Amino acid sequence: MIAAVGVVAAVYAVWLYFGLLQTIVVSLILAGIYLILFHTRWCYVAIKTAPRDLRALWCYIKILWITRSLSRKNWTLPDIFHETVQRNPNKPCFLFQDEVWTFKEVEDYSLRVTAVLKKHGVKKGSIVGLLVNNSPQMPALWLGNARLGGVTPLINTNQRGNALLHSISVAKCDVLIFSDEYQSAMQDISSQLDPELKLFKFSHRPLNTTKAEKNASGDGIGDLTSLLEITPPAPWTLADADGFQGKLLYIYTSGTTGLPKAAVISNSRFVFMACGLHNMRLNSSDIVYCPLPLYHTAGGVVSVGQALVFGCTVVLKSKFSASQYFPDCAKYKATAAHYIGEMCRYVLATPPSPADKLHNVRVIYGNGLRPQIWTEFVTRFNIKYVTEFYGATEGNANIANTDGTPGAIGFLSRIFPKVYPIAIIKVDEETGEPIRDASGLCQFAQADEPGVFVGKISNNNPTREYLGYVDKAASDKKVVRDVFTHGDAAFISGDILVADELGYLYFRDRTGDTFRWRGENVSTSEVEAAISTVADHRDAVVYGVMVPNTEGRAGMCGIVDCDGTLDLQLLARDLARDLPPYARPVFLRVMASMDMTGTFKMKKTDLQKEGFNPSLVKDDKLYYLDLKQGKYLPLGSEEYEKILKGTIRL
């Protein structure tokens, strides 16, 4: 207090004697001295992070600018795309196998879709589900529907049986278009489908084939492809939809547990996600390689959006192939490529080849490039920039690593934290509930302290709004109240992150993906990463299993060994070196292959249910870790009994 009065008095004296200019200079010097003396650390952090923050701020302003102007026009995606088409009608929009689809051709196709769907009664508010493989037609199908004001659920094509039925019914589809590959999957559930549901079968045919098969298939299912081929494009009009804030797509989040939930993607959110990435490193002359499925936000919004909103050329693939990743990039002259974490590991596991560097890819973007392989990946494949981003499909907490700091998924500004209100809050690790202070507000995690990532909700700002799921109850579960101030609300991501002193954020875990063993918390993703690193980047999935009469859960690892080359004793030795004793998997399950969800997240719940019981696990070999020998030994029914009785100690 006295010091402050002293400073003010000194500044006033200087002003009286020397005038205004000198006063400002002296004040700045004093302020500088004050900061350096009393907030040395803060100065250091501010200087180190200012370029990063200013760059990101600039990107953020550009995003707000674009979304603001589209919001004023109140356009929907087909209208925005129309403007892109006007700019470059004959530029390639999608490359797929040997097909080239220009912007004009994609729009024409979507206008045919509009004409056909309109004839079949689709109108504003109709729900037209797509169970369609990756192809240039896929985005054109939903664009055509959106022009009529319809919403399009993009159904995960791996879904069968109950899950498929659930996806169709939870979205309340009026019409469903499915690729002919899924005819038998549809037949399996046909008796349980709503008889009102109109079905159309779609077959992928390259653009210029005109041999429309006139014969009807006879089972009441319309042949959409033939209809499209014989129907002239609808005349172009602005979409008859709910404007920029209106619903565009439903995208299902692929949980590793439970049935899929349909998240709402509005036009504004679509643009925001595409725009967020675009501003990081891309420009409209980029050719983007996207081997991801188009029914998820990553492929279907972030990458496809580069074409629809910004006029980039996007290369689509029907299936990801590790050995084809960079050869494809070279073939299509891609300058940017999309990844998700597991893909990088598969690509890295391919044998080195001269083709590794013979491509023009300047930037790769995506999520989940693990810190353990980041540097190796960019060095081996000669990648200049990595844009790692993080964003939940259904949420509003979106961040990106804008400066390529290895391993970081984004950052929190230390200088202007208020500009983009996201935070890491402390939670109870067992229940996942936020820990609150005396006044009931959430507590924020300090640097290096793990916590759950949240994003403040404010509607009408496309970067901050939360649209949730189609299912209202599921939406409310992801909202936490009284976070920054009383009465506010935030989207709670469920992902545990850690911020370092400079504000860089690192992914730690998913809530629920830790288990307790010998009184320690074991993070499954950490153990998975360690195992995969010592075992030649094999697929490994770690989960906790209950052992009778034992506290907590014992770690179990399902690991893939398709050709019998996995050396278990070497694995035990390497893990003993890299992991603390409590984190080493107690049980191993060696599998010929692994069931994956569409995003290569491994399905843990089924494995967890079967546990280490040899009578439940029939096709795979089981092992347990013998502590004294430090070796994995086979686990048959005899050993299983002994473990239950406690005569084999774990």
Contacting positions for ligand NAG (CB under 6 A) = 74, 99-101, 206-208, 213, 215, 217, 242-243, 283, 285-286, 335, 362, 428-430, 520-521
CA atoms of 136 and 316, how far apart (whole Å): 7
CA atoms of 221 and 21, how far apart (whole Å): 81
CA atoms of 409 and 401, how far apart (whole Å): 5
Dihedrals phi, psi of 379, to nearest 5 degrees: -75, -50
CA atoms of 93 and 103, how far apart (whole Å): 5
CA atoms of 145 and 117, how far apart (whole Å): 7
In angstroms, the first-to-last Cα distance of the chain is: 62
CA atoms of 608 and 447, how far apart (whole Å): 34
Q: What is residue 127's DSSP assignment?
A: B
Write the CA distances from 347 to 129, 291, 323, 357, integer angstroms: 33, 12, 7, 13
Strands (E), 310-360: 313-316, 336-340
CA atoms of 320 and 310, how far apart (whole Å): 24
Closest by CA to 55, choosing from 422, 448, 402, 339, is 402
CB 163 within 8 A of CB 260: yes
Q: What is residue 228's DSSP assignment?
A: H
One-letter-per-residue 3-state SS of 398-458: EEEECCCCCCCCEECCCCCCCCCCEEEECECCCCCCECECCCCCECECCCCCCEEEEEECC
Task: Give me the residue label for tokens 């004050």.
Answer: 34
Torsion (CA) 398, 402, 405, 410 in degrees, nearest 10: -10
Determine the 3-state secondary structure of 494 from DSSP: strand
107 membership: H or E segment, kind and range: helix 103-119
Strands (E), 138-285: 152-154, 175-179, 198-202, 222-223, 247-253, 261-266
CA atoms of 254 and 605, how far apart (whole Å): 13
- Helical packing angle, 137-147 and 103-119, nearest 10°: 50
Q: Could you tell me which residues come within 8 angstroms of residue 466 by beta carbon, excluding any fewer than 6 positions away?
A: 394, 395, 396, 455, 457, 459, 475, 478, 479, 489, 491
